[in-house]
Structure 1
Amino acid sequence: MANVTQHDNKSVAQQMAESGSFDYRKYKSYAPLSLKDRTWPDKQLTKAPIWCSVDLRDGNQALVKPMSVEQKVRLFNLLVKLGFKQIEIGFPSAAQPEYDFARKLIDDNLIPDDVTIQVLTQAREHLIAKTYEALRGVKRAIVHVYNSTSTVQREQTFGMNKEEIAAIAVQGAKWVKEYAAQNPDTDWQFQYSPESFTGTEVDYAIDVCNQVIDEWDPQNTKPVIINLPATVEMSTPNVFADQIEYMCRGLHQREHVIVSLHTHNDRGCGVAATELGLMAGADRVEGALLGNGERTGNMDTVTLAMNLYSQGIDPELDFSNVQEMIDICTEVTDLPVHPRHPWVGELVYTAFSGSHQDAIRKSLEFHNKKGLEHWEVAYLPINPADLGRDYEAVVRINSQSGKGGVAHVLERDYGIELPKWMHLHVSKVVQKVAEQTGSELRGKEIKAIFDEHFVAIPDGWNLRGYDLSTQDSQTLATFRIEAAEPLELQGKGQGALEALADALSQHYGVTMKVTQFDEHALRQGTDADAIASVCITVDGVESVASSINEDTTTANLQALLSAVGRAALTVGFLHKETTEA
């Protein structure tokens, strides 16, 4: 692309167009439908649509390496397990593997009684005849016939006028009905798609669809499906919604017609267009898991279903074990799932940002303490557990993480609830390691850092024993401490901790003060371990340490000793040690 410098008040795009490097003027702008009395903006989704999976047809035909029959069976079983009641299994008249798959499902009795398979066929008699042959013996099926109606296809692909294209649709509808009559033991339902609906004049689309509806006459049989595909997404979702509302108003026998949507994602708005289309009056949705499909993909049924779920609407599809779905889909399609894929990507519930981690931790604590009926947690639109995800993935630590995130990981994975004043001390050390390694730190790595820098006992500072007594409301104590030569020190104070600080101050000739202290049990029960954390100053130098022990007093005293031992390395007060104990 040519380098362009903005000048003469011309936009960069204008300059690029004039230079020939990029000419936006060659693309047609699609004028919106002028629907002045639209009602869909005031509508709200309150229930799930009728779902139809097209993973095995539209999704399969978009693969570099189409699925084998065995892979299709595996995906079919997954779709059934997820709750799809209508599944388009392929185009059996187009290729032998498609035909074989249809026969396998029927001959091996793999279709549950409450599931209806759907097959696609062009409006050509020999293809329709082959389609019914492939479906011989099926209990129920939807036969989906289509032909393209768009201006571009009429003029450039087929060289036909509107009447000729409409005649193809009507003749296809007749053949579909005639061949169904020859197979009366099957419960048939008919579906018609004006392919490239979004590139078709809407009044003409209504005319063609009505001619098909009149041919099938659903008021005297059973409801028919009129599928309106955004075969190529050409406009904003609101324009698509206007088209759908206009169609719903104009279709014959509307109460006997199921209006279906089949959107693609060329503009990245496939889900949004479908949602607005449902508000505009559509009843049914065709889509594919994780958006697999031609070009940028089909409408993503997972995203739409989870959008409904997040608004308190039963999607009537079960994604509680989303990892199983991902594993099967990636195996049969050989397509990865983006880590930021809406709702189900590996990282979508993960917070690296320190402020996000802190908010999540506090919000989860609030949620648990209050026992809230509805899920309301910062940065988490739904509970990850509903999708089978654990909380280990919610907060992950790298150099961007903050003190709240590190504390959350230690509490979540190891039951170590750090006092708030200690969060910053620990996170600084963890962040430094993350910066040095340039990588994410997992829970076990964070625990190892915490143990090394805060729990590990410095050489020569191990508490070997103590004796306590009370005199005049004060604690008198004797402490036995491991050192180059074992030390036995005496001190007094308001408690054991203050008595130890007094003993050490006297022995080493330093000013020592306990500024922060915390203790709590790691596990519930009479044999629960206790963790104690202490922050001290020694001659003005701050030092922090923790200790874990079955005995609470021992944990407190060892935490203080460890903090003093770490301070000794900084202050260098060991040379002040007196010759007398």
Structure 2
Amino acid sequence: METNATPETDRRPTFPSFQEIFQTNSALAIPRSTPFFMDVTLRDGNQALRKPWNLREKEIIFQQLLKLNVQGIEVGFASAGSQDFEACSHLSRLAPDRVVISSLSRAVEEEIELSWKAIHKAARPRIHIVYPVSDFTIRNVLRISEKQVKENIMRSVSYARKFAGNRGEVQFSGEHFGDALENIEFTIEAFRAALDAGADVINLPNTVERYRPFLFVAMIRKVAESLPQGSRISVHTHNDLGMATATTVESFFAGATQLETALNGLGERAGNTNTYEVAVALHNCGVNLDLNLQAIYETSRIVAHMSGVPIPEKAPLIGEDVVAHRSGIHQDGVSKTQNLKKGAYRAFDADLIGRPEGDRIAFTSQSGKSAIFEILNTAGIRVSKEEALRLQPALKSRSEKEGGGELSLEQMAEELQRLRSIES
């Protein structure tokens, strides 16, 4: 039976090629601009907590953000309720002159006005308006025409501009930008309209992470090249597939100068982009940062305690286990490069983020003589490489008998004494 129906495979979106994304002349170049970190912990992070913070708790987090030296802080969603309004107002009054203070609002005039009332006492207030731009959301959630979408964006941004005047700023976020591949040309048109209406910053959120980072980054690059030169572009990515850090870092190299991140990666569902991971990744790439990286480790502990969201032991940078080395091959490399600027198995220096401990070597059934040599000598128990080699079988056997786990210093010292007694 013949049919005119389009095969399902024909309706799949066309993805850009590797060559289209990776431009040899610019991919390795470091942007001249310094990334502007807009923190969203007190808004996006807080709203996702099982027990949102009260005013006192928000102020503690706020002060820690100032210690980290972030350039912008979204202090809340002022129109969400009296508690949010009060928090936005209070924190705005505490903000130093250098920090941009933002409140989120839907494209609703009453909410925009409440946002301004809540943050207008800050030296650098910003009204942040969010409105959907993806074809899927326009058709299935808003259920209006693209023309109406554009009109609503222009009306809300213009209204916010009247309040902000020459002192404040207006940021427009195209919600679900990551889903806007099918109508990217309209989305760019909507962003141009927002700029024409008075927006200072255009934010491109990966509201729900669905695809590979290169696809989102290619979209960022297209927007950056399509908007007027000098347009300030921001990214806000979520971590649904675990790739938010990569997406945000690469977006900076594609033209985004503002990076919206959250402490400990807090946020809806799998969370927002983790501030620490983005910062250290950019640092490792030679990007100049205005952040106080030394405050990272301390901040991570405070946020974990106050949020009730524990830090996984394997969490990058701040997890308990990420400085531990137990494999014999790894331990040998760590031992031989411990005094070099670049370690064989060290992605970052612990003191860079204010972490009190660096590479930690532990002996298990998988370890070798280098671990024995380093552990015992560091503890003040002098052994030679040859003696460590002779001791390794006994320690390996003991570890295996006890389930293959780590041996304590006392257990290792016992086996060393036993070996020396036998040999003497």
The residue type equivalent to 2:178 in the other structure is: T
SS at match of 2:203: strand
Matching residue of 1:208: 190
Map 1:131-530 to 2 at 5 A: 131-181=115-165, 187-200=167-180, 201-216=183-198, 224-252=200-228, 254-255=229-230, 257-364=231-338, 367=339, 375-391=341-357, 394-414=360-380, 416-438=381-403, 439-450=405-416, 452-454=417-419
Higher RCO (Cα < 8 Å, 6 or more apart): 2
Aligned 8 A contact 1:51 1:286 in 2: yes
- The count of aligned residue pairs is 410
**C-alpha separation between the residues in 2 aligned to 1:35 and 1:422?**
53
SS at match of 1:276: helix
The structure-2 alpha-carbon separation of the partners of 1:321 and 1:245, relative to structure 1 and needing over 3 Å to count, comes to: closer
Calculate the TM-score normalised by the size of structure 1. Answer: 0.66
1:162 Cα deviation after fit = 0.5
The residue type equivalent to 1:246 in the other structure is: K
Query: Greater helix percent: which structure?
Result: 2
The residue type equivalent to 2:140 in the other structure is: Q
Aligned 8 A contact 1:57 1:91 in 2: yes
**C-alpha separation between the residues in 2 aligned to 1:311 and 1:180?**
36
1:64 Cα deviation after fit = 1.7
Between stretches 150-159 and 122-131, larger displacement belongs to: 150-159
The structure-2 alpha-carbon separation of the partners of 1:440 and 1:233, relative to structure 1 and needing over 3 Å to count, comes to: same
Deviations 1:425-473 (A, max 9, x none): 22233223322333322334433543x4256xx6xxxxxxxxxxxxxxx
Identity of aligned residues (%): 28
Aligned 8 A contact 2:75 2:91 in 1: no
Specify the structure having the higher radius of gyration (Cα).
1
Aligned 8 A contact 2:78 2:114 in 1: yes
The structure-2 alpha-carbon separation of the partners of 1:440 and 1:278, relative to structure 1 and needing over 3 Å to count, comes to: same
The structure-2 alpha-carbon separation of the partners of 1:378 and 1:34, relative to structure 1 and needing over 3 Å to count, comes to: closer
The structure-2 alpha-carbon separation of the partners of 1:30 and 1:71, relative to structure 1 and needing over 3 Å to count, comes to: farther
SS at match of 1:93: helix
The structure-2 alpha-carbon separation of the partners of 1:297 and 1:119, relative to structure 1 and needing over 3 Å to count, comes to: same
Extract unaligned runs of 5+ from structure 1.
Answer: 1-24, 219-223, 459-542, 545-562, 564-581
Deviations 1:141-173 (A, max 9, x none): 111111112222211212111111111111111
Matching residue of 2:63: 77
**C-alpha separation between the residues in 2 aligned to 1:135 and 1:268?**
33
**C-alpha separation between the residues in 2 aligned to 1:320 and 1:264?**
25
Extract unaligned runs of 5+ from structure 2.
Answer: 1-7
Aligned: 1:127 with 2:103:
no
1:276 Cα deviation after fit = 2.3
Aligned 8 A contact 2:102 2:119 in 1: no
Deviations 1:532-570 (A, max 9, x none): xxxxxxxxxxx43xxxxxxxxxxxxxxxxxx1xxxxxxx
Deviations 1:269-302 (A, max 9, x none): 2122222222222211111123221122211221
1:29 Cα deviation after fit = 5.0
The residue type equivalent to 1:188 in the other structure is: G
The structure-2 alpha-carbon separation of the partners of 1:381 and 1:104, relative to structure 1 and needing over 3 Å to count, comes to: same
Deviations 1:347-376 (A, max 9, x none): 112111112112211222xx3xxxx5xx12
The structure-2 alpha-carbon separation of the partners of 1:405 and 1:329, relative to structure 1 and needing over 3 Å to count, comes to: same
1:261 Cα deviation after fit = 0.8
The structure-2 alpha-carbon separation of the partners of 1:34 and 1:419, relative to structure 1 and needing over 3 Å to count, comes to: closer
Aligned 8 A contact 2:369 2:385 in 1: no
Deviations 1:167-209 (A, max 9, x none): 111111111012234xx7xx20111011101212111111111
**What CA RMSD, in Å, does the superposition of the two structures yield over aligned residues?**
2.4
Matching residue of 1:86: 72
Query: Greater strand percent: which structure?
Result: 1
SS at match of 1:51: strand
**C-alpha separation between the residues in 2 aligned to 1:354 and 1:39?**
38
Aligned 8 A contact 1:261 1:284 in 2: yes
**C-alpha separation between the residues in 2 aligned to 1:274 and 1:62?**
20
Calculate the TM-score normalised by the size of structure 2. Answer: 0.89
**C-alpha separation between the residues in 2 aligned to 1:34 and 1:361?**
43
